[in-house]
Structure 1
Amino acid sequence: MNIFALNIALAVAWAALTGNFTLGGLAVGFVLGSGALYLAKPLFPGCDLYFLRGWRWVKLCVLFLYELVVSSIAVVWDVITPSTKARPGVIAMPLDVEDEMAILLVTNLISLTPGTLSLDVTDDRKTLFIHAMFADDPDAIRAQLKGGMERWVKEAME
């Protein structure tokens, strides 16, 4: 049986038992169902992969929020100070992810981060062009994005 579907069923059952069919009630049921499934891992063969994938998605969200805050502070600081440190430029970044959904997620996360914008992906889906607000060192930006967002997405999509 699909572990995710079982977790959803446990969340709905929890909401039915408590009479709280709201998003919050379903979320509490989902978390409690996850805990119950975690305790019952030996009974379900594919359960380890389910929890590993869930952990990777949580990690991706938390690390993206951290990057969002840090880059927002950098952009705001550059805007409010009299001297500008922005040296915009376009950077070509080779892509390791191959799946269309993974490429879409990487490009959207980069575009959502202040100071960077995904411009285009080549037809062969091997290179992503990025506009960066602080492009003094393109190699450092490439390394940061590849070691950060792209690697996190690749781990979450496995």
Structure 2
Amino acid sequence: MKNRFLSNILLTFIWVAITGDFNFANYVFGFVLSFVVLYVITRGKGDAKYFKIIPKLISFIFFFLYELLKANLQVAYDVVTPTFYMQPAIVQVPLDAETELEIALLANLITLTPGTLSLDVSDDRKVLYVHAMYMENKEDFVRDIKNGFERRLLEILR
């Protein structure tokens, strides 16, 4: 997988050097073009994990940006209006993540989203404690974390 990624980066830089256009859009186009070329050249040969992870990673980035924007708007709306809509709560989120890396990334992604804060992980690493500013329904909150951040993160890492 590392070799394909490095080949993709190398082909991207070759594309940018050949075209002579060093703007961000050309780097993105070069990366996508080299990704497609590598896919066509290596399809049916060996492990295709790289070609499955990159689209999931890009999808995850857009999902995170959407959640970040949604949470920022919710907190900003609550700040600028005279009425407070906060319903703070601490929620136990059962974890499917097992390794230190998976748990740390999940906890950090939750903390980066405004209105939520990862507080602690249980000693057996089966439960993540999360503080939420806007808690309407605990089951929905847990389901959103499990089916949103955790599922997508584990699809990339495993």
TM-score (norm 1): 0.86
1:98-137 Cα offsets, whole Å, 9 max, x none, are: 1222212111110111110111112322111111001232
Give the secondary structure class of the aligned counterpart of 1:105.
helix
Larger deviation, residues 8-17 vs 106-115:
8-17
Partner of 1:126: 126
Flag the 1:44–1:17 CA change in 2: closer, same or farther, 3 A: farther
Give 1:37 deviation, angstroms: 1.0
- 2-structure distance, mates of 1:137, 1:28: 43
Root-mean-square deviation (CA), in Å? Answer: 2.2
Partner of 1:102: 102
1:76-117 Cα offsets, whole Å, 9 max, x none, are: 112222221101111111111112222121111101111101
Given residue 150 of structure 2, which amino acid in structure 1 is its aligned partner? E
Given residue 149 of structure 1, which amino acid in structure 2 is its aligned partner? F
- 1-structure distance, mates of 2:80, 2:5: 47
Is 1:42 the counterpart of 2:26? The answer is no
- 1-structure distance, mates of 2:64, 2:35: 23
- 1-structure distance, mates of 2:45, 2:125: 37
Larger deviation, residues 69-78 vs 11-20:
11-20
Partner of 2:4: 3
Give the secondary structure class of the aligned counterpart of 2:125.
coil
Structure 1 segments unaligned to the other structure (5+ residues): none
- 1-structure distance, mates of 2:13, 2:39: 18
- 2-structure distance, mates of 1:40, 1:30: 15
- 1-structure distance, mates of 2:18, 2:136: 58
Partner of 1:136: 136
1:64-83 Cα offsets, whole Å, 9 max, x none, are: 11111111111111222222
Give 1:3 deviation, angstroms: 1.5
* Contact 1:3/1:46 (8 A) holds in 2: no
1:1-158 correspondence runs (5 A): 2-18=3-19, 26-42=27-43, 44-47=45-48, 49-158=49-158
TM-score (norm 2): 0.86
Identity %: 40
Given residue 136 of structure 2, which amino acid in structure 1 is its aligned partner? D
- 1-structure distance, mates of 2:149, 2:136: 20
Given residue 30 of structure 1, which amino acid in structure 2 is its aligned partner? F
